[in-house]
Amino acid sequence: MPVNAAETTGRDAASGRFSRQFSRWLVRRIPPARSITLDQRRIFIFPSLPGFFFFVLLLLILLTAINYQNNMAYAVAFLLATLFVVSILHTYANLAGLTLHALSATPAFPGQRSEFRLRLQRSGKAAHYALRLSWPQGSDSLVSLADRDSCEVSLYVPVGNRGWHNPGRLLLESRYPLGLLRCWTWLDLDLQALVYPRPLATAAPPGGDGGRPEGNAVETAGSDDFHGFRSYRPGDSLRQVHWKAVARGHSLQSKVYAAYASRTAWLDWDAFPGIATEQRLSYLCYWALALERRGEDYGLSLPGVDIAPASGEAHQGRILAALALYQHGAAAS
Amino acid sequence: MKRDPAAGTLIPRNALVWIIISQFALLAPHLLRLPLWLVLVYLGTAVWRLLVFQGRASFPGRLVRASLALGGCVAVFLSYGNLLGLEPTVALLLIAFAFKLLELVKPKDAYVLLFLGYFICVIGFLFSQDILFVLYSLFTLVLVTTGLVALHRPREDRFRLGSLRLPALMLAQAFPLMLVLFFLFPRIGPLWTVPVKSHAAKTGVSDFMRPGDISELSQSDDVAFRVQFDGDIPPKSELYWRGLVFSVLEEGAWRSLRYNELPGLELRPPPVEPEGEPLEYTVLMLPTQQNWLYSLRYAQPAQRGILSTADYRLYSPVEIEEQLQYRVRSWPLTALDPELSDWRRETELTLPEQDNPATRELAQRLRSEAADASAYVDSVLQHFRDQPFVYTLQPPLLTAENSMDQFLLQTRRGFCEHYAYAFVVMMRAAGVPARVVAGYQGGEINPVNRTVIVHQFDAHAWAEVWLEGRGWVRIDPTAAVSPDRIELGLEEAVAAEGSFLANSPLSPLRYRGVNWVNMLRLRYDALTYRWQSWVTGFDGEEQYRLLQDLFGSIRAPVFAGAILLSGLVVLIPVGWLLLQHRRPRPLPPEQRLFLEFCEQMRRQGITRTTGEAPGSFGRRVAREAPKLAGWAMELTEAFEQLAYGGKSRDAAAYRQQLAGLRQRLRRVPQSGSER
């Protein structure tokens, strides 16, 4: 259910119906896709506010020309009028041929802003200026493709509740070169951000009392005591990477720290009986973060989902994603 | 939704510099028309704005701005005495333009400033439509548009000369369609009266002639009018351009009869029979702020809106504030007023009482010696020839009383108006009806386009004498004194004196001897004539003629069709030029098929990451969806072969492989999404 800017602005019923119709029409006209190239089907153009004032100016010049019977004033009126017409083509050409690729959206906690990364690419060698990209509630970015073929753009959008957050349609607009016309498009780049549950502190740690660790030292990440090196495995935190060695030209090595684990913690759905789903997920989320900070291994057990204990950024991501998407229907890993 | 992408942001420095440049370029042509303080205001605001730009000053507060605006209005009022004429209006506009610079913070302010700039450019044309000025104004239009474009290029913090390129290109693209609109847009009359140039001087011959007036006018090398003859140009000595007829001598000055002094029967010119072949010509007159037009005698206007007066002159009911082009037919051999009415005879014989006794005495003596009026005219001219009269641009001042006695008997140095004056007084004193005619004599023939250029220094005064059976006969007493003036022009006539255009040492007319300067001047004059007759003088009548030539009859559909068609003819190439480098290149078919495959996989939940090679994506699909493994690997392989395989494939094999790939893609194995 894409949320459109037009939908959010429309307050009363009539405009609500209109904006729903508009977004339905928009979906038919510009269907969602991961990369969209702008052509005449996707670009809208209309005079801007300064453009309307420009018409007033033209009228004034024409009246001057008529009242003073001045042919050069006529000429300027017509030159500016045709300049306006020519600028329709220039403004359109400033958007035409651009391709937008959706790159990624970083997961975020509710109330935070997710970073949406896009790549803007031009088809030819012609320069594009003052392209403004924005999501209805998000930040905006003003970029130009003058001396480069593509650029990456990061836009930050505040996310809502747990699950997938769809930022709606991306607005790409430009008034270059004269500012008299506004050329824009609404694009659905099929890009969604994962929203984790809101972490809520709770006293009781799940699956045990979480006391001081005892027993054998176990290699784990994120602890204090340095233990040795091992070759880098995907999922290792970048903070663990032994960058000095990389700088000397060696292969990627991860620093391994020692911690003491008496047992592995289980983040268990059933550890919070009688508590509402969202709150349970919030508690589990809190503990996932806390255990990761401590560098302990932890697993997740939700109805229908079991993740074996481990630790590390990638593991934490998997756990949080599972929490985020619990009972959310969508089958995404 | 209507938020300006540039709103809230600051104006790029490049744009700021271009705005200030365009502002000064727009001010420049008005410099000589404006009071000095306004120019200082301009400099002051520009310096202030640059200080703000450098962070060494701040924008003025609201109170300061309000008092500046009020002060500006008061200062304009004090300088001009009113606020409603054209010049004060222009001064107010320019002040607003200058002060707006101090408010230039946001792009919104820049729009106001630049739109005002366009309008000020138009205002300049109310003062001059000269071809060089128009070219300059076109340049200022490019500058203003550059400001507008620079405003929309974010983060340009350095001044770039290259910013001029796009605006110049866009205006060039707009130009052809502008021409179409210019010639096709219907011309209508003024909708309401507008402030006029209150300070514009009346130029040319005035309706009041005192000795010394015309010699003063002869100091100017301005063009009075240009004439294009349909046939051959008559000899210079026949080119007497009549503008005014002075019939009344009052307090030492000549003036023409006022309309309300004419009795009812004398309002219209007495009918005459045109004689001989007519001369047909077009006069392109520059604004004079006066009513009379110039023509050879006996002239009939060939267009509406021009009247004939009782003394056979052409007259415009409205003052000529813009250049005027009119067609005339003249029959030079026609006798004017073959029968003189009693009222007219009496009027043309009246002299102030008791004036110039010595002149009267001389006139009566010569008249008594002559057999008839005609012989008397000859003897007076002979008198001018015999006595040591001098034709000079620098005549001595004459006293107000009995000035002709002083001129004829003492100083004997004078310009054409002195001779015409003295001659007519002598005629009237002897009972011969006579009057002074003022206008221009001669003109310069431009070999480039065969126009006759009449300058202000060609201003002249001569006499008309009424003779029985011949009507009004033109007598030029100056010719008796200085035949060179009529045959060769003023420059030759006063060559010995060195007084020709003595006050304008830089006038190109003084360098007529230098061949290339002269040729350049004449070519430019020919260009100006064409410009004035075709472009700035293009009016409803010209348009009607042009449209009839183009379309035969003028009907609305033809008209609209012509505008539409020319619009398309102009815009399609522009659009093509702009878009040919921006159209996305279509992907090769195998790439499209592969993307289709990726899209299918994405719906299955396996998304190809950015930059993932087709092969590794295929392997990943095989790993994550084992049921699809065989199909996906086969398909990826087929694609890789097509896309990156042998270069030397022939078309038939390529098509076959492509069809294979397409077929494979359609045969998706039924699979679940479990992995």
| B130-185 confidence digits (pLDDT tens) | 899 999 999 999 999 999 999 998 888 888 898 999 999 999 999 988 988 888 88
What is the distance, to the nearest Å, from the Cα of residue A265 to the centroid of all Cα atoms in its chain? 33
Active-site annotation holder among B30, B418, B455, B460: B460
In this structure, what DSSP letter does residue B159 have?
-
Half-sphere exposure in the Cβ direction for B253 (13 Å, CA): 11
Identify whether B130 is a catalytic site residue: no
Among B432, B438, B388, which Cα is nearest to B417's?
A: B438
Q: In angstroms, what CA-CA distances link B466 with B336, B364, B365, B369, B479?
A: 9, 18, 20, 19, 19
Structure confidence at residue B516 (pLDDT): 83
β-strand partners of B283: B227, B326
Q: What's the confidence (pLDDT) of residue B219?
A: 78
Selected residue of A26, A178, A333 to mutate for chain B interface (largest B Cβ count, 10 A): A178
Q: What is the pLDDT of residues A65-96, one digit of tens each?
A: 998 888 999 999 999 999 999 999 899 989 88
Listed residues B480, B515, B550: the one ending a domain:
B515
Say yes or no for a CB contact (<8 Å) between B178 and A132.
no
Spell out the residues 6+ positions from residue A148 whose beta carbon is closer than 8 angstroms to its own.
none
At B197, is the pLDDT very low, low, confident or very high (cuts 50, 70, 90)? low
Q: Does B581 touch chain A (CB under 8 A)?
A: yes
- Between B647 and A8, residue with greater pLDDT: B647
Instruction: Give me the residue spans of the domains in chain A.
Output: 32-48+94-195, 196-215+262-333, 217-260
Q: For residue B227, is it within any domain?
A: yes
B540 found inside a domain: no
For the stretch A45-58, pLDDT in tens is: 999 999 999 999 99
Examine the domain organization and report whether B228 and B340 are in the same domain.
yes
Q: Are B244 and B292 in contact (CB under 8 A)?
A: yes
pLDDT at A217 over 70: no
At residue B82 the predicted structure's pLDDT band, cuts being 50, 70 and 90, is confident
Asked if residue B50 and residue B132 are part of one domain, the reply reads yes
Q: Residue B605: closest CA among chain A residues belongs to which residue?
A: A332
Would the pLDDT of A214 be above 70?
Answer: no
- CB-based contact B583:B602 (threshold 8 Å): no
- Given a cut of 50, is residue B97 above it in pLDDT? yes
Q: Is residue B605 part of a domain?
A: yes
- pLDDT confidence of residue A315: 87
pLDDT given for residue B358 in this prediction = 86
Residue-wise pLDDT for B390-442, tens only, equals 888 888 888 878 888 888 888 888 888 888 888 998 888 888 899 999 999 88
- Cβ separation of B190 and A174 shorter than 8 Å? no
Interatomic CA distance for residues B672 and B675, integer angstroms:
8
> A265: which 2 tokens?
């913690």
Contact B488, B442 (CB under 8 A): no
Give me A16's structure tokens.
Answer: 């609500």
Give the residue from A55, A76, A92, A116 with the most B CB atoms within 10 Å of its CB, the best one to mutate: A76
* Pick from B5, B181, B585: CB nearest A142: B5
CA distance B614 to B637: 9
Residue where a domain stops, chosen among B154, B169, B193? B154
Compute the distance between CA of residue B141 and CA of residue B335 in angstroms, rounded to an integer: 55
Residue B125: which of A73, A78, A103 has the nearest Cβ?
A: A73
Residue B416 is among the residues annotated as catalytic for this protein:
yes
Beta-strand ranges (E) seen in A188-278 are 193-195, 217-220, 225-231, 253-260, 265-268
What percent of chain A has a predicted confidence (pLDDT) above 70? 84
Are both B510 and B629 inside the same structural domain?
Answer: no
Q: With an 8 Å Cβ cutoff, is B177 touching chain A?
A: yes
Sign of the torsion formed by the C-alpha atoms of B104, B105, B108 and B110: positive
Residue A304: its chain B contacts at CB < 8 A? Answer: none
Residue B278: which domain range? 213-515
3-state SS, residue B329: strand
Q: Given this model, what pLDDT does residue B211 score?
A: 80
- Which of B49-58, B256-265, B435-444, B644-653 is predicted least confidently? B644-653
* Catalytic residue (one of B213, B311, B458, B476): B476
More confident residue, B135 or B217: B135
Nearest to A75 among B153, B182, B579 (CB): B182
pLDDT digits (tens, 9 = 90+) for B60-72: 888 888 888 888 8
pLDDT for residue A205: 58
Residue of chain A nearest B534, judged by CA positions: A71
Cα(B166)–Cα(A177) distance, integer angstroms? 9
pLDDT number for residue B531: 87
Sign of CA dihedral B233, B234, B238, B243: negative
Secondary structure (H, E, C), B631-662: HHHHHHHHHHHHHHCCCCCCHHHHHHHHHHHH
A60 vs B119: CB contact, 8 Å cut-off?
yes
How far is B207 from B243, CA to CA, in rounded Å? 9
Domain A32-48+94-195 has CATH 1.10.3470: no
Provide the number of CB pairs (under 8 Å) joining chain A to chain B.
Answer: 193
Neighbour-count burial for A17-56, b at 16+ CB within 10 Å, e otherwise: eebeebbeebeeebeeebbbbbbeebbebeebbbbeebee
Are B349 and B481 in the same domain?
yes
pLDDT at B674: 41
Closest residue in B to A134 (Cα–Cα): B5
Residue B198: pLDDT over 60: no
Distance (Å) from the C-alpha of residue A285 to the closest C-alpha of chain B? Answer: 25
pLDDT level of residue A221 (50, 70, 90 thresholds): very low
What domain count does chain B have? 3
| The predicted structure's pLDDT at residue B7 | 44
Residues 2..41 of B with a Cβ closer than 8 Å to A: which?
2, 4-6, 9
Suggest the residue from A52, A61, A69, A148 to mutate for an interface test with chain B (most B CBs closer than 10 A). Answer: A69
Arithmetic mean of pLDDT, A146-166 = 88
Residue range B477-509, pLDDT digits in tens:
888 888 887 777 777 777 777 777 777 777 777
Q: What is the pLDDT of residue B35?
A: 84
Tell me: do B473 and B610 sit in the same domain: no
Q: What is the pLDDT of residue A278?
A: 84
Beta bridge partners of A254: A230, A241
Residue ranges of E strands in B204-247: 223-229, 240-246
Amino acid at B556: A
User: What DSSP character marks residue A102?
Assistant: E
For residues B209-221, give the mean pLDDT.
Answer: 79
Four-residue CA torsion sign, B419, B235, B535, B129: negative
pLDDT tens per residue, range B473-483: 898 888 888 88
Look at residues B126, B154, B182 and tell me which one is the last residue of a structural domain. Answer: B154
DSSP, collapsed to helix, strand or coil, labels residue B365 as: helix
Q: Which residues in chain B touch residue A66, judged by CB atoms under 8 angstroms apart?
A: 188-191
Position A73 scores a pLDDT of 93
Residue A52: predicted pLDDT: 95
From the candidates B121, B337, B416, B418, which is the catalytic residue? B416
Q: B520-565: per-residue pLDDT in tens?
A: 888 888 888 888 888 888 888 788 888 888 777 767 777 778 778 8
What is chain B's alpha carbon radius of gyration, rounded to the nearest angstrom?
Answer: 39
Min Cα–Cα distance to chain A from B87, Å: 14
pLDDT value for B4: 44
Q: Is residue B531 part of a domain?
A: no
Beta-carbon contacts of residue B111 (< 8 Å; ≥ 6 apart): A50, A53, A179, B151
Least confident of A133-147, B37-51, B396-410: B396-410
Dihedrals phi, psi of B186, to nearest 5 degrees = -65, 135
CA atoms lying within 13 Å on the CB side of residue A50: 27
Report the C-alpha gap between B108 and B348 in whole angstroms.
69
Look at residue B513 and tell me whether its pLDDT is greater than 80: no
Tell me whether 0.85 is exceeded by the ipTM.
no
pLDDT at residue B308 is higher than 90: no
Highest-scoring range by mean pLDDT, A1-5, A59-63, A185-189, A312-316: A59-63
Residue-wise pLDDT tens digits, B266-301:
788 888 888 888 899 999 988 888 888 999 988 888
Q: Is B587 helix (H, G, I), strand (E, B) or coil?
A: coil
